[in-house]
Structure 1
Amino acid sequence: MKKKFYSMFGLLLAGSVVLAACGEDDGADNGEAGGDAGADTEVNIGNLQIGTGGTGGTYFPLGQEMANVINANIEEYEGFDLSAVSTGASVDNLSQIYQGELDLGMTVHIPALNALTGDGDFEGVEIDNFGFMGHIYPEVMQIVTPADSGIETIADLEGKNVAIGPPGSGTQALARLILEAYGLEDGDYTAFEENFGDAADRMRDGNLDASFGLLGLPAGSLEELAISRDIDMIEITPEGLQYIEDNSGYAGMTIPADSYDFLESDVQAITAYAVLVGSTDTIDEDLGYAITKALYENSGDISHDQGQHLTKENALNGSEGLPMHPGAEKYFEEAGLLD
């Protein structure tokens, strides 16, 4: 399994080359902030990057707004510039933080726990150079299929074309677990490893039977798909839910029928927390404090639907079992959220 993890590293390195060729900042100027962030003098720091997800999902547009809010509200760091970059999402972001290629990352809290212990996609490699910096929003696995597909359960996906999310994403890790719960393994279906936006285009064209998406609720990309294609949502059966809860930290939740116009009844789904993590190598305590404070004191400026969950009241959701970034811990203590 260790071989599997390092082969993923190779894919990530190749992706970095592509981003550089496209003119993305390669993060080479990233470094720890020096001095006291609370002093009167400004501290000079290079550009930082926050890893998000595919452009068709929730992470990328929300991450862009988070970066904008942080940039607009950090005054003590001269030249501070945080850029949101598209990545493979959860596992990819944690891996790139481990390699020193990202400073911040959005991730489902389950892969973050796996990274600490060397389990799941990180089997054989333990990652400990990151810390929890706050809850972002609850993520919900939403599995959709064309309304005329005849697909009613996960078991019906055998032999079908299925989008399971990009490599290194929380979507793919959970999609594989859900399929496994119904006895479906690699080769029992044709897997498309792509983000939800690309999968939605494929479904519009009639070339996809189902798509998994670990998204916010409601998901704008899903609402857009429903405008151009009649779709249904596949729910998780009680037996499937029991298997998933027994073999992961994910939990069941009910998607209310009024979440989308195309739903006729409530749907049983799976949920987890999206959280922000930061490198403890490139972000010191003072900078971590400034970033966390800038985000949570000004989250009301975020217009994305999922921004409503980015509040001080929710800030510690998903933190259980994860190490706290020293800077975030300092802010949460100051805000009265920690004893």
Structure 2
Amino acid sequence: MAAGLSGLLLPALSACTPTDRPGAVTVAGGEPGGFYLEFAELLAASLQRHGVAGQATALTTGGSLDNLEYLLTGKATFAVALADSAAQRTAVGDATAVGLSAVGKVYENYVHCVIRQDSGIRDLGALAGRTVAVGQPGSGTSLTTPRLIEAAGLSSAAGTAGGVTVLSLGLNEGLAALRDGTVDALFWSGGVPTAAIAAAHDDVGLGFLDLSPLLPALRAKYGVFYDRVLIPAGAYEGIPAVWTVG
């Protein structure tokens, strides 16, 4: 499963029978305005409607890393998570992650590097010395974005002149900061179209940067969790197709 594929996970289960219906289940989702929470709400409603559980609830969370923590500590029954986030938690030596099972792939995720159309920023190199939002703590974006920044040679370790200043802002806070000029770019890993980004685009006019040149460096260091994927033309009104990482 590529990093850009969201998967649904649960703890490994012992054998059960149809009469073992749980009284209540929780689905760890994500941030308002993003696909994770929307999917979690739809899944919870379906589980309850079809009698899989007496009560099913979706949880608002920071995203993949939070969801895995909820799952592993027994606060959630199901968790939606990016493959690279799940792989990090199930790496050799992480005893707390033993027993996770993947129910299946949910949908393709796309890393959006969002800029304002009036910013003059047209490629990753133009982010040098600027400020970027890298995801809310606990989100899968907050794991993936530093890897992208490193692959682009824009980490602070590369030197003050070439590095970017990072702010740990989630989707909605990041979009607000992009609107008011506090940040120059926002990274977000989600489905297409992400509703909150589409709404912000209607307000101020947004664009996306091509992240696909970073793929060889990502795969060389982190393995085959990353793929080249296309945000299609028209997915966001008036924005042309752009390649990115998924």
Q: Same fold (TM over 0.5)?
A: yes
Distance 1:137 1:33 in 2: 24
CA drift at 1:110? 2.0
Distance 2:45 2:24 in 1: 13
Q: Is the 8 A contact 1:161 1:189 kept in 2?
A: yes
Matching of residue 205 in structure 1 with residue 180 in structure 2: yes
Could you say which residue in structure 2 is the equivalent of 1:68?
Answer: 45
Q: Is the 8 A contact 1:226 1:262 kept in 2?
A: no
Q: Is the 8 A contact 2:135 2:169 kept in 1?
A: yes
CA drift at 1:53? 1.2
CA drift at 1:212? 0.7
Matching of residue 175 in structure 1 with residue 145 in structure 2: yes
CA drift at 1:241? 2.1
Which sections of structure 1, spanning at least 5 residues, go unmatched? 1-31, 119-123, 272-339
Change (3 A) 1:44 1:257: closer
Could you say which residue in structure 2 is the equivalent of 1:189?
Answer: 164
Matching of residue 37 in structure 1 with residue 17 in structure 2: yes
1:214-260 C-alpha deviation (Å, 9 max, x unpaired): 1111222221111101212111253x221122223111112222322
Q: Is the 8 A contact 1:57 1:197 kept in 2?
A: no
Change (3 A) 1:207 1:66: same
Supply the AA of the counterpart residue of 1:181: A
Distance 1:222 1:125 in 2: 35
Q: Is the 8 A contact 2:135 2:171 kept in 1?
A: yes
- Aligned to 1:247, the other structure's residue is in SS state helix
Instruction: Choose which of 91, 107, 114 in structure 2 pairs with 1:144.
Output: 114
Supply the AA of the counterpart residue of 1:69: S
Percent identity over paired residues: 24
Instruction: Choose which of 262, 271, 280 in structure 1 pairs with 2:238.
Output: 262
Matching of residue 90 in structure 1 with residue 64 in structure 2: yes
Figure out how many residues of one structure are paired with residues of the other and give that number.
Answer: 227
- 1:40-55 to 2 correspondence within 5 Å? 43=20, 45-55=22-32
Q: Is the 8 A contact 1:33 1:44 kept in 2?
A: no
- 1:1-339 to 2 correspondence within 5 Å? 37-39=17-19, 43=20, 45-74=22-51, 80-118=54-92, 125-126=94-95, 127-186=97-156, 188-238=163-213, 240-248=214-222, 249-264=225-240, 266-271=241-246
CA RMSD of aligned residues (A): 2.4
Structure holding more strand per residue: 2
Change (3 A) 1:36 1:153: closer
Change (3 A) 1:237 1:67: closer
After TM superposition, the score normalised by the length of structure 2 is 0.83
After TM superposition, the score normalised by the length of structure 1 is 0.61
Q: Is the 8 A contact 1:56 1:195 kept in 2?
A: no
Q: Which entry has the higher C-alpha Rg, 1 or 2?
A: 1
Q: Is the 8 A contact 2:131 2:165 kept in 1?
A: yes
Q: Is the 8 A contact 1:49 1:85 kept in 2?
A: yes
Distance 2:231 2:22 in 1: 44
Q: Is the 8 A contact 1:53 1:87 kept in 2?
A: yes
Distance 1:192 1:109 in 2: 24
Distance 2:153 2:179 in 1: 28
Distance 2:134 2:64 in 1: 14
CA drift at 1:190? 2.5
Distance 2:13 2:242 in 1: 47
Which sections of structure 2, spanning at least 5 residues, go unmatched? 1-11, 158-162
Supply the AA of the counterpart residue of 1:177: R
Q: Is the 8 A contact 1:140 1:214 kept in 2?
A: yes
Supply the AA of the counterpart residue of 2:71: I
Supply the AA of the counterpart residue of 1:258: G
